[in-house]
Amino acid sequence: MRVLAILCVKDEGVGLLHWLAHHRALGVTDVLAFSNDCSDGTDAMLDRLAAMGVVEHLRGRDGARGPQWRALREAAEHPLMAVADWVICIDVDEYVNLRGRDLAWLAGQAEADCWALTWRMFGSSGLTEWEDRPVTDRFIRCAPNPLHWPWRCAMIKTLWRRGTYARPGVHRPLEPAGAPVWVDSNGARLPERFVEKGVFTDFTRSAYGLVQLNHYALGDAESFVVKAARGRPNRQGNPADAGYWVERNFNQVEDASILAHGTPELEDWIADPELAALRERAVTWRSTRFAELMREDAWRDLYTRVVMAGESRAFSPAEAQAIMAHARG
């Protein structure tokens, strides 16, 4: 079974290798990586990984809707797409969590063409300072299940059978061929409307029976400032702000189930002198970048606001229903 992961990155050198090793261990066989205007050497790391046969690397270009959408249009025509059995468009702060199992196992759990992998938000765990360790080790506190609000926290990424749609999208594939069958992260069939549209699952019930998508959207406060300054790949000129932090900083539940997955290739990659030197360059850039940003009022203000905001409170079912009632008018 060939599984293609489409990845768009900018200045992600410190976490890139661990992310790749994790997903290769799950059964991702091909990675099509697009880098965009990197300052930390992520693009050079991807060049080296391409030379080692780990990824295919293309330097992304900007587009009207941002570099990620431009990359996805190019991915639709790439030779790796033509040989894939399954495809997923995924970011470096998203980790598929199968609790020690693999993607081949998941594909056999339901007769489905599309798996809607629901985010589970992992908060900051109260950490403010960056540390050079994998996010899966550092952040083990997350949102409760179910999380009744906000709906954005129940958004999905899709593992889809190649051929059932014409091209990839950020959260879901686009232009269906026929009537693909969609299931949620429990393996339960989703409504027919998902064939054409749908970017979040039912956030009023348990969402992670077979698989969850661990979403480390924040990191610690220092990392969040660096992320915000980088910008968001599919929204030109719309950086993450304190509101973004508040909507995602849930730490009510401990979940370390992702640690059941190993990263067997990671040691070999780090042993490569060229790759190790490039990663060290990214680590240095990361520390220097935060120090530079903290000399500017706007970024220093963002840092202080997210630290002061603390942990976000999860809404009760009644509170969430009241919000939804307002939305319905």
In this predicted model, what pLDDT tens digit does every residue of 4-30 receive, in sequence order?
Answer: 999 999 999 999 999 999 999 999 999
Taking only the tens place, the pLDDT of each residue in 169-186 is 999 999 999 999 999 999
What pLDDT was estimated at residue 69?
85
pLDDT (mean) for 88-115: 97
Q: Which domain, by its residues, includes 62?
A: 3-328
State yes or no: pLDDT of 159 exceeds 60.
Answer: yes
pLDDT (mean) for 197-216: 93
What pLDDT was estimated at residue 31?
98
Choice among 59-68, 269-278, 312-321 with the minimum mean pLDDT: 59-68
Query: What are the φ/ψ torsions at residue 221 (nearest 5 degrees)?
Result: -65, -40
pLDDT (mean) for 267-293: 98
What pLDDT was estimated at residue 125?
97
Q: What is the pTM of this model?
A: 0.95
How many C-alpha atoms does 289 have within 13 Å on its Cβ side?
22
Question: What's the structural domain count of the chain?
Answer: 1
CA 184 – CA 292 distance, rounded (Å): 43
What pLDDT was estimated at residue 129?
98
pLDDT (mean) for 113-124: 97
Please state, in angstroms and as integers, the Cα–Cα distance from residue 238 to each residue in 72, 119, 233, following that order: 20, 21, 9
CA 245 – CA 124 distance, rounded (Å): 9
What pLDDT was estimated at residue 240?
84
Task: Give the distance, in angstroms, between the CA of residue 7 and the centroid of all CA atoms in the same chain.
Answer: 9
Q: Mean of the per-residue pLDDT values for the chain?
A: 94
What pLDDT was estimated at residue 237?
46
What pLDDT was estimated at residue 207?
87
What pLDDT was estimated at residue 327?
78
pLDDT (mean) for 270-293: 98
State yes or no: pLDDT of 224 exceeds 90.
Answer: yes
CA 249 – CA 142 distance, rounded (Å): 8
Bridge pairing between strands 165-167 and 174-176 = antiparallel
State yes or no: pLDDT of 65 exceeds 80.
Answer: no
Query: What are the φ/ψ torsions at residue 132 (nearest 5 degrees)?
Result: -80, 75
Q: Is 310 left (phi over 0), alpha (psi -120 to 50) or beta?
A: left
- Give the count of beta carbons closer than 10 Å to the beta carbon of residue 189: 14
